[in-house]
Structure 1
């Protein structure tokens, strides 16, 4: 079938066969899986609904029994009503299950459950009627154990058997669905194996034809490759020269990079040092200002001390004079008062008034003595003021010391500024040296660039021959394309 076809035609036929087999496999796989999934979902859904319905019957039965027992205990109408409602719900659910279940055995079990339910409902109704007129719980319980409990036990056993039956049906449906799924998987695997075998056969056939038809073209390509090899040898030599030149360029560039980094670091150091210099200068100015302020304060305090000392000296002299005068007056007054008292006592009746005057004079003398004491107190206050003045003098001395220290700090700050300026000069010299190194490195780059240009010219001469050989290879490639079916054979 492929005898007269080109390689491109054969490849197209092989690809078409592989694609058809792949599409067929996909279609069959999708259809089979869809059928299996649909059947499995339908079976599981139906069985699950049946199981849920059977369990719902059991739940309704338990609720009805609970309400029935509550009624027997307390006789409330509400429990009777709930018992009847659950009984009706039980009947409706039973009808739904009978309409939905198609299994014969399950239908028979549902019929049995229906009969037992009616018997249980009748017995329960009879007991509730009896309970309405009889309040003897013991008697009601005895009758219930005889009539209702046996039927209820049978009904619960039947419900349990139904649930077991439905669960078995669910397990059986699940196993059948799994079996169908395994069959579908087997079919898909078989088709996949068939597709793989077909693809391998087509690939082997195409590979054999390709080796046979391309073999001749490979011979021509090998002869052209020899010419390319000679040209490539020249290009390798030129490439080596270029590599050496580029190595020198790379080394030079590395030196430039290192030098640039040194310059950047030096510049950073200069900037940092300048900032430190500025900060130190500002600190020196601030220190000088503070020192000047401290000196002004010291001068003001010294002036105040001088004024206080002068004033205190004058006040001390005045107070001393006043104290002396007061003391003399007090002594004389006391003497006069004593004499006046003596004279008054000798004058008899006429001296009483004079005695009164003498008494007043004596009191005045006492007051004068008290004033003298107050004056002494003032003198003590003056002494305290003198002490305060002394303390102020000490504070002034301390301020003077602080001013001296401030001057020392200013001196140190300016020394630091001088040292930082020296460091800045050193960094500037390093920057200058790095710049000279960069100049030398740039000259080396120029030399390496010249060598690279020379090697490039030599490479260009070799590239001409390589282009001619490439043209020949292009012609052979066109023949190869025609051979594989792209052009005319």
Structure 2
């Protein structure tokens, strides 16, 4: 490391080398993890192939079990394992072919397994068909011939070859995973150790260089800080007195400006409220006018209802007169029917039919008289209801007239309120304008004084900060001296 390098360059160099070590360790760790994941995926793939090979043999055993049960009993229910195995074996073989698509040797063995599986199922189906046809002896002969056993033995051998190669691949991949893990551990541990050694060496080197340079600078800082502290003390004392005086003046003018703005804001709010009140009064006046129009309409409708009710009363009286005539005719008809009955009874056998007709006429006259009485009662009820309605409607009309007069009074009051609110609004606006002018003048004075006060405060602040900086600088120089040369303190 060059001695003429600055402190920042030395730190940058140390961080750059440390970061390079860390990046190398990270890349090695990432590559190792990637290889472990790939190896784990391959191991899982191999295990799936082994599971499918075992599943194929299991399916074939189930098929043989179903076939033997059917040959012995003849019950179709024993064929369920055979049927399930027939469909399942095809699926397992297809998945095996997909899983070993990258291995030509395994593809060839799977082709053999497919042919053997087809031959076995053909033999099983042939014996099942013979048993269904009632030729059980022939089916058993085929089983005893050992043809199916040879096929199964060959299939087991092929499956064993497939499993053996997959187990070899599994062992190889597990060995690769172990080797990759070991390499990753060594790389990470070695890189970490080198990185720590370099950081420690760089730390010692940079610390020694920094100590020498700081020792020379501390002396200059101590002498300069003492001079600066004395000058800052005098400047801060004078600036503090001037700042206190200007602060009092600025505070007084600020309070005056705040009071003026509050008065202006209050006047503005009063003006807004007065305008809203005037608007509400005008709206109320419009609403009252609409109410008067609605009451006039109600009055017209009431008069029309009274007129219809009076017409209904007159018509009910006319109906009553007609009912009187009908009742009188019914009584006369009844009397004539009675006389006719008496005359018919005196006429003997010849007047009997006439007596029957007269009796029916009398009954009809009685019904007419009864109906007439019922109608008269209903007409009287209608007449009474009409009279009550007319009286009630007239009372409502009087109430409507009274409401109309009251609405007129309310409308007059709203007009007076609107006039008063307009006058108040104009007065408040004049107050608002005057107050705004006063607030503007106060703001101008306040701004001028505030500028002077701000300049004074800035001077005081600058002096105080200079004094604080000088004090801090003196303390810092002592601290640096303690750090660099503890025995010199």
TM-score by length of structure 1 reads: 0.51
Conservation of the 8 A alpha-carbon contact between 1:44 and 1:170: no
Report how far residue 402 of structure 1 moved: 3.2
Distance 1:138 1:95, change over 3 A: farther
CA–CA distance in 2 between the matches of 1:20 and 1:388?
Answer: 110
Aligned length: 370
- Alignment correspondent of 1:48: 44
Any stretches of 5+ residues in structure 2 without a counterpart?
A: 307-385, 474-489
Give the counterpart of 1:30 among 23, 27, 30: 27
**Contact conserved, 1:280 with 1:416, CA < 8 A, in 2?**
yes
- Alpha-carbon deviation of 1:189? 3.3
Distance 1:388 1:120 in 2: 106
Deviations 1:200-227 (A, max 9, x none): 3222222222222332232122212222
Tell me the residue number matched to 1:230.
230
Q: Give, in whole Å, the separation in 1 of the partners of 2:140 and 2:248.
A: 114
The answer to whether the Cα contact below 8 Å between 1:262 and 1:434 also exists between their aligned partners in 2 is: yes
Work out whether residues 263 and 435 of structure 2, in 8 Å CA contact, stay in contact via their aligned partners in 1: yes
Change (3 A) 1:431 1:198: same
**After the TM superposition, which residues 393-412 of structure 1 pair with which residues of structure 2 at under 5 Å, given as runs?**
397-398=398-399, 400-412=401-413
5 Å-filtered alignment, 1:49-198, equals 49-61=45-57, 86=90, 93=97, 125-134=122-131, 135-136=133-134, 170=170, 173-174=173-174, 177=177, 180-181=180-181, 183-198=183-198
> Helix, strand or coil: the match of 1:6?
coil
Q: Alpha-carbon deviations, 1:219-275, whole Å to 9, x = none?
A: 122212222223322443355344774576467547645653553343133223223
Query: Could you tell me whether the CA contact under 8 Å between 2:128 and 2:139 is conserved in 1?
Result: no
Q: 1:66-465, aligned counterparts within 5 Å?
A: 86=90, 93=97, 125-134=122-131, 135-136=133-134, 170=170, 173-174=173-174, 177=177, 180-181=180-181, 183-237=183-237, 240=240, 241-242=242-243, 245=246, 249=250, 252-253=253-254, 256-257=257-258, 259-281=260-282, 283-284=284-285, 287=288, 397-398=398-399, 400-414=401-415, 416-417=417-418, 420=421, 424=425, 431=432, 435=436, 438=439, 441-442=442-443, 445=446, 448-449=449-450, 451-452=452-453, 455=456
Counterpart contact for 1:53–1:93, Cα < 8 Å: no
Distance 2:175 2:123 in 1: 47
Match of 1:328 in 2: none
Cα distance change on mapping 1:268 and 1:186 into 2, 3 Å: farther
| Cα distance in 2 between the residues matched to 1:88 and 1:396 | 99
| CA deviation after TM superposition for structure 1 residue 33, in Å | 5.0
My pick for the range that moved more, 410-419 or 243-252, is 243-252
Equivalent residues of 2:10, 2:206 under 8 A apart: no
* C-alpha distance in structure 2 between counterparts of 1:136 and 1:397, whole Å: 115
Can you give the 5+ residue segments of structure 1 that lack an aligned partner in the other structure? Answer: 103-109, 306-384, 474-489
Q: Is the 8 A contact 1:242 1:452 kept in 2?
A: yes
CA RMSD of aligned residues (A): 6.4
* 2: CA distance, partners of 1:94 / 1:460: 83
Alpha-carbon distance between aligned partners in 2 of 1:192 and 1:21, rounded to the nearest angstrom: 10
In 2, the alpha carbon distance for the partners of 1:52 and 1:14 equals 55
- CA–CA distance in 2 between the matches of 1:88 and 1:278? 89
1:6 corresponds to 2:4: yes
Residues 274 and 425 in structure 2, CA contact (< 8 A), matched pair in contact too: yes
The answer as to whether partners of 1:266 and 1:427 remain within 8 angstroms in 2 is: yes
Mark the CA change 1:192 to 1:244 in structure 2 (over 3 Å): closer, same or farther.
farther
